[in-house]
Structure 1
């Protein structure tokens, strides 16, 4: 990856990086579909593949700031590819129920809420990871449950496959712009003999 490249070589490698961004997003979304009930799998592969893209940007650009910048769209790609499949599956086959929060338990950042529906208590609780779940005992809400038992119960208002798809597309678009900029700047840097740097 050292020495000056021809314009054609730089263009080919830039196009390869752009294509890899689409492949990573598509591959991790496919993994998310295949393992929709276990998001940890898609999260793990998404992190590894995103780091590979960041490293490729660093090699192409010969400077680190664009590689660091590519972490932001990587977050959108990760969120979109991991959550798109379960959200879409719940929207397609999920059963909507009106429930009431009857009990709450917190274990660090993990909040568990017991629910009761029209036919009695639900066997599956509503689980929220974070600092402020926003649910209170006595509150009524709509939830989506998976009749196949593969996906966890979710608040219906927070299931949004369209939003996850937009996040995924925004992430890939960001990666594309960064790849094009990295290819152009990397070509110029090699042509002018500038060495690798962590800054610009």
Structure 2
């Protein structure tokens, strides 16, 4: 990547990095749909693909700060691509049920809420991983359950595939702007004979 580039080469390489970002978004979203119900798979592939994009920005820019900045939209890409599939599945085929929380089992920061519906107790608990679940025994809420049992049940008002799609679009726009800026600055740096630096 050393030495000055022609304008044509810089533009072509920049567009390839932009295309790489779009491919990462599409590919990891597709992986999440194929492996719906196995969240760990798109998380791992998403992390690897996002790191590949960040590394490509680093090479294009010949400095590190834009690569570090690319991590911010990468979080939107990762969350959106991983969560879009299960939330879209629940919205499409999920069964809405009004339930009450009748019991809770806490192990560390994992909360498993036992739910009681109109037809008796649900086989599947509502799981919250964290210190503040926001629910307690006696609460009534609406949940969406997957009749095929592939996707975990979720509180109905938290299922938002539109929000996940918006996160993906926001991440894609962020990556595109960063790639274009990296291409322009990288071209100028090569033209001026500036070598790789960690910061500017």
1:162 aligns with 2:162: yes
SS in 2 for 1:138: coil
SS in 2 for 1:124: coil
Q: Aligned equivalents of 1:192 and 1:161: distance in 2?
A: 46
Q: Aligned equivalents of 1:64 and 1:181: distance in 2?
A: 13
1:100 aligns with 2:120: no
Q: What are the ranges of 5 or more consecutive residues in structure 1 without an aligned counterpart? A: none
Q: Aligned equivalents of 2:170 and 2:130: distance in 1?
A: 24
Q: What are the ranges of 5 or more consecutive residues in structure 2 without an aligned counterpart? A: none
Structure 1 residue 69: deviation in Å? 0.4
Aligned to 2:132: 132
Give the number of equivalent residue pairs: 200
Aligned to 1:184: 184
Runs of 4+ more than 6 Å apart: none
SS in 1 for 2:137: coil
Over aligned residue pairs, what C-alpha RMSD do you find?
0.6
Q: Aligned equivalents of 1:11 and 1:106: distance in 2?
A: 55
Task: Describe the superposition over 1:24-81 as per-residue Cα deviations: whole angstroms up to 9, x where unpaired.
Answer: 0000000010011101000000000000000000000000000000000000000000
Aligned to 2:30: 30
Structure 1 residue 131: deviation in Å? 2.3
Task: Describe the superposition over 1:76-134 as per-residue Cα deviations: whole angstroms up to 9, x where unpaired.
Answer: 00000000010001000000000001111222222111110001111100011222110
Structure 1 residue 160: deviation in Å? 0.3
Q: How does 1:56-71 map to 2 (within 5 A)?
A: 56-71=56-71
